[in-house]
Amino acid sequence: MGTSTEGKSRGERVSDPVAGRARIAHAVVLVQYLALVVSAPFWVRLSLVRYRVPDLRVFYAFLCVIALYLCVRAYLVLVRRIPERWSPVWPIADVVIVSVLVRITGGLNSVAPFLYLFPLALCSIRHRPYEALAAGVLGGVLYLAVTWFPDKPPAYWAIVGPRVAALAMVTALAVTNAAAEAARVRNVVAMREQLALADYRQRLSQEMHDGIQHYLVGLTVRLELARQIMDDDPREAARIAVDQRYLARQAADELRALVRLLRAPVMDRESFVDALRHQLSVFGERCRISAPLEIEGSDVALPPEVSHTAFRIVQEALTNAEKHAHASKVGVTLRFGPEAFELAVKDDGVGFDVASAAQQSPIGSGFGLRGMRQRADSVGGWLRVDSRTGGGTEIAFGVPLSTHSSGRPTRSRLSG
């Protein structure tokens, strides 16, 4: 079913949103930066600022340099997408730009030192404590350098001291927040890894139950039958025992598949419908149970995770029909709709009390029905079990194809 191509496309869908969000975040920063540059010519003409700027031509020329810097930065980050290891360059460049701006807008009398908070805030938001610390220290040093005069006024330290102290406090807050958020992100990542490992173990147990056990149960039942008739009909008993070679090979194939991709081996070689036909044929020959397949609608290619889930649910339903229901007929119906896919597995066996089974503990109820429900939930689908004692059992599964990619579980309109 083209698993390698599908896997690659799924990986691209996973990675693209992450890279896209990073580019959007940097684009927002650049837009904010550009807004400051555009508003600067109006800001410099305010009476509170204008008398502090010795030469407007130098100020405007510096704005052109900043605009060129923004263009280069946007090209490198958004177009060329330079490696993340170059990210510390930007807060350092921002601090240098702010320091030059302070110098050309009055030095000690400038009202621009508040712009030192801009790179600090960005480093804190991006969870970069070391970059925030470097930006804060460099900002303090450069601010002292651009405001230093040989004939500095007596009130120099009274003006500079509080500003440098405020910058130091803001730097400490930015570093602390960035470190805390970085640690929180690491904890979240570790927790997600643990949950992924737990989910993998759960899937592994389900795969072993729905796959390997399916074949081992059939193998055990048929070998037990051979043992029972061995005295009366040894030739038939030998034939039945020899015929179980196929089930043994299938179990071995399933075990190897668990190590590889946790996908049913037959699903890697055939389409979903062909694999299901093959499964029903083997099931019918092995158990001497009629297992017809009915298809409604046009056979369309299902998403790999949906087809795999559907195959496993049918496989588990067949195992239950053989192991518990003592059925003589098991019918499987597939419904391919424009917006949803559904299947139903119905047997004429002894049935059971669904309400009573639902009240059992998870441990007591095993992985059968509970595992099928978990599989259905994992792909945003639903599972319905209808049964009564002496009246057979019907297991129905459905998944909305139109909303499956968005991950929003929606009940199919075909399910009633």
Please say whether the beta carbons of 132 and 122 come within 8 A: no
Write the burial class of residue 208 (CB in 10 Å: 0-12 exposed, 13-18 middle, 19+ buried).
Answer: middle
Q: 271-416 adopts what CATH topology? A: Heat Shock Protein 90 (3.30.565)
Average pLDDT over residues 26-49: 83
Which is more confident, 376 or 153? 376
**pTM to 2 decimals?**
0.48
Average pLDDT over residues 283-296: 83
Please say whether the beta carbons of 177 and 124 come within 8 A: yes
> Using alpha carbons only, what angle is made at residue 311 by residues 372 and 330, rounded to the nearest 5 degrees?
85
Q: According to the per-residue pLDDT averaged within each range, which of 75-89, 202-216, 347-361 is highest?
A: 75-89
Taking the C-alpha atoms of residue 308 and residue 350, their distance in angstroms, rounded to an integer, is 28
Taking the C-alpha atoms of residue 142 and residue 136, their distance in angstroms, rounded to an integer, is 10
Least-confidence region, from 61-65, 145-149, 208-212, 393-397 = 208-212
| Termini Cα distance of the chain | 31
* Residue burial 279-294, b: 16+ Cβ < 10 Å; e: rest: bbebbbebbebebeee
Segments making up each domain of the chain, as ranges? 17-192, 271-416
